[in-house]
Amino acid sequence: MALMTGEQYVESMRKMKLNVYMFGKKIENPVDDPVLRPSLNSVKATYDLAQMPEYEDLMTVTLEDGRKVNRFTNIHRNTDDLIKKVKMQRLCGQKTAACFQRCVGMDAFNAEWSTTYEIDKKYGTNYHENFKKFVRMVQDEDLTVDGAMTDPKGDRGLAPHAQADPDLYLHVVERREDGVVVRGAKAHQTGIINSQEVIVMPTIAMGPDDKDYAISFAVPTDAEGITMIIGRQSCDTRKLEGSQMDVGNSEFGGVEALVVFDNVFVPNDRIFLNGENEFAGMLVERFAGYHRQSYGGCKVGVGDVLIGAAALAADYNGAQKASHVKDKLIEMTHLNETLYCCGIACSAEGRPTESGNYLIDLLLANVCKQNVTRFPYEIARLAEDIAGGLMVTAPSEKDLRDPVVGPYVEKYFRGVASVSTENRLRCLRLIENLTLGTAAVGYRTESMHGAGSPQAQRIMISRQGNIAMKKELAKAIAKISE
C-alpha cells in the first residue's frame, strides 16, 4: 500500500479494538470521542501534509528501492535526512500547535535499527532481521507507531529487580518456545491511542540481575492484555462544552495515557532485545538522543504559533508599537530560534552508526533538550506578559453570545475598535490553551520532562563534554608543562 491519506488513517484507527479508559469509563469509540479526537487529528495532520505537493520533500522520503514512505517511518540515511526530520517537525508544530505524536515511533525506529545490529554482531541473534521486517511493514502500510520507554519506576533508588512490586518495570514473566509473555506498564504515552503499533523499550541501563527487564519488542496496540488509561489535562472537559472558542485550539491536541501490559504475548519475530542487558543503555541513550533532537523541531513549531498569537494580542490591544512589546517579541524569537539552531546543529553533526543509519551528535542533542527545559517557559511567560490578565479572566463564549450580558462583554472587552471582541478573545484563548490549558502539557511540562528530565541531559552533557581535552587546550595556551 502507498501512503495513506488522512481519512484512510482515521478509518484504520476506527478498525482497531483499543481498550481505552477515561474518567472511569471504557471508551468504546475513541476515534469520535470529543476529548480524544483533537489528538487523533494531530496525527492525521502528518498524513494530510504528506499528501500536499508543497511539503512532499519534507514529509516523504523516496527510498533507494523506489518506495515512497512517510518521513515519520524513515531510517535516516544521512545528515540531510536528520535535518529534514527537524524541519518536518517544525512544520507539523506550526500546523497543529500540539504534539503530533508520530515522532516517538520514528525515534524508536532509528534507535532500534542500530542497536539490534550491534546486538546481533555480538551474540549472533536475529533481532536486526526481525526489526527490518517490522520496519518494512510499517513503511508499506504507512502506520503510526508509539515508542514506549518510560516505566512507572516505583522507588527511584532501587534497580528494576529490587522493587517491592516487580511489575514497576516492564518485564518478561514467561518464556515460551514461540515467544515471551510480558507484564508491566509504560507511563506518559503520548500517541498510544492513535497508533496501530507500539515499540516497547527498556527505560534505563540495566545490570545482569535485570535480564528479564532488558526486553524490547513491538505489538499491535490492540493486542490482548493492553489497557490504556487516559491522563487528565488542565481544562480537558472544556472540549465537552461545545464551544470552539473556549478551547483555544479546537482542532488539534495531544493526550497521554498509562499503558498497562497485563500478560501480553510477544511472538519471537517481534522481539528486538531479550536479556542482553548491556545493550539496554545503548537503546535508551540513542532513543533519548533522537527524541531530544526532535524537540528542537516540534517545540519550535508550537513556539512559532505562540509568538504569532502574542504578536496578534499586542495588535488587538493597540500595543504593537510599544518598544517593550517589540523587544519581548524579539526575545521570544531569539529563544525559539536558539532551540531550532540546536535541533539543526545536532543533525548536521550526525554520524553513521555501524548499521549504516545516522545518529545525531549526542552532546548537541542533549544541549538542545536542556534548552527546551527552559526556553518554552520563558516564551510562555513573555506571551502572558504581552497578552495581559484578560487571558485568564475573560468570560465564556456562552456569555459573549448571551442576549443579556453579551453586549456588555462585546463592549467592554473590545481592544482596538477595528477588531471584533470575538477575535480578541479567540486569540487570548489560544495563548491560554498553550500556556495553561490542555496544550501546556505538551508545550511546558513535556518540555521539562519529555525525552528525559533536565538532570538526564546534564549527565549526558558531563559524559560527552570532554573536559580533559579542554584542559589540555588551556595548558597549551598557557604554556603549562606538567
357 binds, among ligand SF4, Fe ion, none (CB under 5 to 8 A by kind): none
Q: What is the footprint of ligand SF4 within residues 150-189 (CB under 6 A)?
A: none
CB 295 within 8 A of CB 339: yes
Residue of the chain from 20, 36, 75, 103 that contacts ligand SF4 (CB under 6 A): 103
Query: Nearest residue to Fe ion, using CB?
Result: 450
Binding test (CB under 6 A) with ligand SF4, winner from 41, 101, 125, 438: 101
Stretch of 96-104, 303-311, 362-370, 453-461 lying at the interface with ligand SF4 (CB under 6 A): 96-104
Q: Is 294 in the site for ligand SF4 (CB under 6 A)?
A: yes
Return the DSSP state at 349: T
Q: Does 450 bind ligand SF4 (CB under 6 A)?
A: yes
The three-state secondary structure class of 237 is helix
Site string for ligand SF4, 425-444 (x = CB under 6 A): -----------------x--
**CA-to-CA distance for 272 and 269, rounded, in angstroms?**
8
The active-site residue, picked from 115, 125, 190, 435, is 190
Q: Which of 291, 358, 421, 435 is an active site residue?
A: 291
Is 449 among the residues known to form the active site? no
Cell numbers standing for residue 249? 485550539
Q: What are 60's three cell numbers?
A: 516523504
**How are beta strands 215-220 and 197-200 bridged, if at all?**
antiparallel
Place of cell 506518559: 188
Is 342 considered catalytic here? no
For residue 321, how many other CB atoms are within 10 A of its CB? 9
Q: Which is nearer to Fe ion, 286 or 429 (CB)?
A: 286
User: Furthest-apart CA pair in the chain: how many Å?
Assistant: 85
In the residue annotation, 56 being an active-site residue is answered as no
Question: Which ranges of 197-348 does DSSP label H, i.e. alpha helix?
Answer: 280-317, 323-348
Q: Is residue 202 a contact residue for ligand SF4 (CB under 6 A)?
A: no
Grid coordinates in use for 65?
528501492
Task: Name the DSSP class of 144.
Answer: -
Residue 296 binding result from ligand SF4, Fe ion, none, given CB thresholds of 5 to 8 Å by partner type: none
Cell numbers standing for residue 474: 588551556
φ, ψ dihedrals at 273, nearest 5°: -165, 135
For ligand SF4, the closer CB: 286 or 426? 286
Other beta carbons within 10 Å of 354? 10
Of 36 and 311, nearer to ligand SF4 (C-beta) is 36
Parallel/antiparallel/unpaired status of strands 20-22 and 226-230: parallel
Which residue's CB is nearer to ligand SF4, number 104 or number 311? 104
In the complex, minimum distance from the CB of residue 358 to ligand SF4, in angstroms, rounded to a whole number: 18
Q: Is 337 among the residues known to form the active site?
A: no
Q: Is 197 a catalytic residue?
A: no
Q: Minimum CB separation from ligand SF4 for residue 259, in Å?
A: 15
Least distance from C-beta 156 to ligand SF4, angstroms? 23
Q: Which of 112, 256, 285, 397 is catalytic?
A: 256
Quick check: is 103 catalytic?
yes
User: Where do we find the cell 527487564?
Assistant: 213
Question: Binding of ligand SF4 at residue 198 (CB under 6 A)?
Answer: no
Q: Residue 254 in contact with residue 97, Cβ under 8 Å?
A: no
457 sits near ligand SF4 (criterion: CB under 6 A) = no
Instruction: Give min distance, CB of 330 to ligand SF4, in A.
Output: 25
Q: Look at strands 256-267 and 179-190 and give their pairing.
A: antiparallel
Catalytic position from the list 235, 298, 346, 427: 298
Query: What crossing angle do the helices spanning 79-96 and 323-348 adopt, rounded to 10°?
Result: 150
Query: Shortest Cβ distance from residue 451 to Fe ion (Å)?
Result: 6
Residue 442 DSSP symbol: I
**427 neighbors 312 (Cβ within 8 angstroms):** yes
Whether 368 is a known active-site residue: answer no
Q: What does the binding site for Fe ion look like in residue numbers (CB under 5 A)?
A: 450
Three-state DSSP at 101 gives: coil
Q: In this structure, are residues 99 and 69 in contact, taking their beta carbons and an 8 Å threshold?
A: no
Binding of residue 256 to ligand SF4 (CB under 6 A): no
Nearest distance, CB of residue 297 and Fe ion, angstroms: 12
Name the binder of 103 from Fe ion, ligand SF4, none, CB < 5-8 A by kind. ligand SF4
Q: Which stretch binds ligand SF4 (CB under 6 A): 44-52, 95-103, 400-408, 411-419?
A: 95-103
Q: Which of 100, 109, 252, 261 binds ligand SF4 (CB under 6 A)?
A: 100
Contact of 201 with 108, CB cutoff 8 Å: yes
Decide if 295 is catalytic. yes
Query: Does residue 313 touch ligand SF4 according to CB under 6 A?
Result: no
Instruction: Quote the least distance from Cβ 453 to ligand SF4, whole Å.
Output: 14
Structural contact between residues 291 and 103, judged by C-beta atoms closer than 8 angstroms: yes
Strands (E), 202-278: 215-220, 226-230, 256-267, 271-274
Whose Cβ is closer to Fe ion: residue 289's or residue 450's?
Answer: 450
Which string of b and e fits 106-139 if b means at least 16 CB within 10 Å? Answer: bbbbbbbbbbbbbbbeeeebebbebbbebbeebb
Catalog residues that contact ligand SF4 under the rule CB under 6 A: 99-101, 103-104, 190, 294-295, 298, 442, 446, 450
Catalytically active residues, by annotation: 99, 103, 190, 256, 291, 295, 298, 446
